[in-house]
Amino acid sequence: MNTGASRIEVNEVGPRDGLQIEKAFVPTDQKVAFVDGLSACGYARIEVTSFTSPKAIPALADAQEVMRRIQRRPGVVYTALVPNIRGLERALEVGTDELNLVMSSSETHNRANLRMTRDQSLAELINILQAAQGAGVPCNVSLSTAFGCPFDGDVPVGDVLRLAGSLAEAGAAGITLCDTTGMAYPTQVADLCEQVARAVPGIPLTAHLHNTRGMALANAIAAWQTGVARFDAAAGGLGGCPFAPGASGNVNTEELVHMFQCMGIETGVDLPALLAIVRGLPQLVQREFSTPMLAAGHRLATHAPPAWLAERFGPA
């Protein structure tokens, strides 16, 4: 098996991608407590919120207050999603460490999600990159629907390469390839990651995977084998884009971290601390959902055998 980096960076996107689609509004105090809890888990980055229109994403309408009130832990980069200049202004007002600009690789999802054509979004992001450089704030760019669009189907690789190239040239500090609705499959992930890495040499790539069709962990391995060493993930597997039909959760952070730890790859994330947060998520979002790793724990969290075994077979 090809092996990738011996250490990866995990970006927790639960507070942003996770909460943006939840029906129940999570009160600001609880959002701040969620982020503060995550800050103690050892993440490289936490995507705290998004500076989007509150009409588009009412769940994150309190973005500025959340960013203002979280406790900044040294060593953690606090980032936020930004789609336009207005979002940049709001993010800068509250001292966001790093911005995650967003546009889609496909035309129809860009229009549905951001109400702009791709050309309009690209021009807007290039303006933001210039302004952010002036302010000394680094910007990553996330390319949604890079592996397929729920409206347009397969997205030409050339479109992704062209956007990545233009944004890198305009000053993007990193590029994230997003599988918005879990359309990616492992050989496709490996191929696209290799091609983008060649197109924008020296620019770190991040994989942003959703588990809609059960392929997120397999896709993470495929990306890692090509040298990708940054992964977005959401605690409890929350998440999804409200403007993408069929969208569902991100790759679970706890499953991603557990898998890489089993393989001897350093993630920096404290799995028991993270699982303690995952335990509280159904209460945070006010609905039940399945979190299988909570019941099973780490693969070596073994159990006492049933008492009758000793009676029947004697001491082990």
124 lines the binding site for Zn ion (CB under 5 A)? no
Residue 57 Cβ vs ligand COA, minimum distance, rounded to whole Å: 5
Residue 134 Cβ vs ligand COA, minimum distance, rounded to whole Å: 19
Q: Which of 8, 4, 3 is nearest to 229 (CA)?
A: 8
22 lines the binding site for Zn ion (CB under 5 A)? no
Task: Classify each residue of 63-72 as buried b or exposed e, where b means 16 or more C-beta atoms within 10 Å of its C-beta.
Answer: bbebbebbee
Which residue among 12, 17, 98, 124 contacts Zn ion (CB under 5 A)? 17
Give the Cα separation of 217 and 256 in Å (integer): 7
Stretch 103-132: interaction string toward ligand COA, x if CB under 6 A:
----------xxx-----------------
Q: Which of 150, 144, 153, 149 is nearest to 175 (CA)?
A: 144
Question: Is the Cα dihedral 170, 172, 178, 184 positive or negative?
Answer: positive
* Catalytic member of 41, 139, 178, 241: 241
Q: Using an 8 Å Cβ cutoff, are 231 and 206 in contact?
A: yes
Tokens at 15, concatenated: 């507070």
- 241 has catalytic annotation: yes
Q: What separation in angstroms does the CA of 27 have from each of 51, 78, 91? A: 17, 20, 20
20 lines the binding site for ligand COA (CB under 6 A)? yes
Residue 179 Cβ vs ligand COA, minimum distance, rounded to whole Å: 12
9 lines the binding site for Zn ion (CB under 5 A)? no
Give the Cα separation of 242 and 248 in Å (integer): 9
DSSP H helices in 252-314: 253-262, 271-279, 281-285, 292-296, 308-313
Site for ligand COA in 27-86 (CB under 6 A): 50-57, 83-84, 86
91 lines the binding site for ligand COA (CB under 6 A)? no
243 lines the binding site for ligand COA (CB under 6 A)? yes
Residue 111 Cβ vs Zn ion, minimum distance, rounded to whole Å: 18
Catalytic residue numbers, as ranges: 241
Which residues bind to ligand COA, rule: CB under 6 A? 20, 50-57, 83-84, 86-87, 90, 102, 113-115, 144, 241, 243
Which residues bind to Zn ion, rule: CB under 5 A? 17
